[in-house]
């Protein structure tokens, strides 16, 4: 396979503390953002309709977004273009699907050639949303614990395994904090993106640990070989996610745009955590910790 032209990093110029300081600072800031959000709003990340409950209408109308905004007794939570001409997805926190449907039919003008404004409608109760939220969070927890167990079984040593787990944890926390800043809600789709991040993170971290601990050659030779492969893999994935996010944004597919953005941010965090935080712990283990 081809590689990006990745320059060799002179890790000998930096101490382990210097390498770990930047990723740990990002992790601390991300945790602080999530803590503030939890204190103010009751959840570390804003919940989408899948988890908070509410009503979603898909409408086709010639009215503008500002006209749609004022067509209902309740202010819409969000109005998104689907990318199709004159078609919008409107979300509400209210579960009164019938009343909202009636208001749309009464106050919005149907698109040319259509006799009805409403194309599709759905409602999620708050109790069902809470159950879905618990299931999704349990899925993330099970995936993370499963990854941790497999990591310990693969390497059977404490420090390299903890390095992978800490990097993966940071790879999840930083995108979650970014979701707060970018106003991206937690939905079933974004949960799927976070689950994908666990896999991406483990790939690059295991690649680095395997090169350093199980292959011949000096520590820095093994490290630079792992970096050439790992950075190529990660940057290729980042480019793909960025293209998906931009294309989905242009076409008005908000879910795919959110997933692409989350994965792009998470993969960027993974580069930092793998080749600074994980590597600093591995170097300490190889040259100091292993001799104690």
The model's confidence at residue 1, banded by pLDDT at 50, 70 and 90, is very low
Model pTM score: 0.84
Using one digit for the tens of pLDDT, what is the confidence trace for 194-218?
988 888 888 889 999 998 888 777 8
Alpha helices in the chain (DSSP H): 16-41, 49-52, 65-69, 97-107, 126-155, 158-182, 188-214, 219-251, 254-272, 279-287
**What six digits make up the tokens of 291?**
């001799």
> Topology of domain 11-48+127-289, per CATH?
Multidrug efflux transporter AcrB transmembrane fold (1.20.1640)
Indicate the average pLDDT of the chain: 87
Over range 39-52, report the average pLDDT. Answer: 86
Residue 16 sits at φ, ψ, to 5 deg, of -60, -40
Using one digit for the tens of pLDDT, what is the confidence trace for 116-173?
788 778 888 877 778 888 888 888 889 889 888 988 888 888 888 999 999 999 999 9
Q: How, if at all, do strands 78-81 and 118-124 pair?
A: unpaired
Residue pair 170/197 in contact (Cβ under 8 Å)? The answer is no
């Amino acid at each position: 396979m081809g590689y990006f032209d990745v320059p060799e990093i002179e890790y000998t110029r930096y101490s382990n503390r210097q390498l770990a300081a930047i990723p740990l600072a990002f992790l601390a800031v991300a945790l602080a953002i999530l803590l503030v959000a939890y204190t103010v709003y009751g959840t570390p990340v804003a919940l989408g309709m899948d988890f908070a409950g509410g009503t979603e209408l898909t409408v086709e109308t010639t009215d503008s977004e500002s006209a749609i905004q004022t067509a209902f007794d309740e202010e819409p939570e969000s109005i998104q273009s689907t990318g199709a001409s004159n078609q919008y997805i409107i979300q509400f926190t209210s579960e009164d699907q019938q009343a909202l449907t009636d208001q749309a039919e009464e106050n919005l003008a149907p698109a040319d050639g259509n006799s009805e404004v409403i194309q599709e409608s759905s409602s999620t109760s708050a109790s069902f949303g809470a159950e879905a939220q618990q299931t999704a969070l349990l899925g993330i927890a099970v995936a993370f614990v499963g990854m941790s167990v497999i990591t310990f079984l693969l390497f059977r040593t404490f420090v390299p395994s903890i390095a992978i787990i800490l990097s993966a944890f940071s790879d999840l926390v930083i995108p979650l904090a970014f979701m707060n800043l970018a106003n991206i809600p937690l939905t079933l789709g974004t949960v799927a993106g976070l689950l994908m991040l666990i896999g991406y993170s483990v790939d690059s971290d295991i690649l680095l640990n395997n090169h350093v601990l199980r292959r011949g050659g000096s520590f820095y030779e093994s490290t630079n070989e792992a970096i050439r492969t790992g950075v190529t893999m990660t940057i290729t994935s980042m480019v793909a996610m960025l293209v998906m996010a931009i294309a989905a944004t242009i076409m008005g597919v908000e879910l795919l745009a959110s997933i692409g953005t989350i994965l792009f941010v998470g993969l960027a965090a993974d580069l930092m955590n793998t080749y600074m935080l994980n590597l600093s712990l591995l170097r300490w283990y190889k040259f100091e910790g292993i001799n104690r």
